[in-house]
């Protein structure tokens, strides 16, 4: 995957929790909350916390990145791999999966969820 946020590394915590916003919050609400947190916590006081806030904002700063995060962080591992493959294919990063591969990933996901 390319870019920052959810694509550049794994978040340790849910970015919505880190920012203190609802998953349904809009771009402007999220931006305002981020700016408020950054103003209240300069990077030199608590660099680790500041970095966590910055990373969370990168993940959820716009609708597309929020959707990607939600897709990649819900469901079983097999389904997540399929979702990741679909995102890469949509960005031109790889060829689409064969029907057999998709079927195997979906079947694996269903079997895992029924356990």
pLDDT tens digits, 56-114: 999 999 888 887 787 777 666 667 677 777 777 767 766 666 667 766 766 676 666 55
* Per-residue pLDDT tens over the stretch 32-49: 999 999 999 878 889 999
89-100 pLDDT tens trace? 767 766 666 667
Query: How many C-beta atoms lie closer than 10 Å to residue 77's C-beta?
Result: 11
Long-range contacts of 23-30 (CB under 8 A, 24+ apart): 23/66, 23/70, 27/61, 27/62, 27/63, 30/57, 30/60, 30/61
CA distances from 91 to 9, 28, 67 (A): 18, 26, 15
pLDDT band at 4 (very low <50, low <70, confident <90, very high): very low
């Amino acid at each position: 995957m390319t870019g920052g946020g959810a694509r550049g590394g794994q978040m340790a915590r849910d970015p919505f929790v880190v920012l203190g916003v609802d998953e349904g919050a809009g771009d402007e609400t999220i931006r305002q909350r981020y700016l408020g947190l950054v103003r209240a916590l300069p990077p030199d006081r608590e660099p680790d916390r500041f970095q966590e806030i910055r990373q969370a904002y990168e993940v959820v700063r716009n609708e597309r990145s929020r959707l990607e995060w939600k897709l990649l962080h819900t469901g079983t591992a097999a389904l997540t791999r399929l979702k990741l493959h679909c995102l890469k294919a949509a960005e031109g990063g790889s060829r689409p999966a064969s029907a057999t591969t998709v079927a195997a990933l979906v079947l694996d996901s269903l079997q895992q969820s029924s356990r």
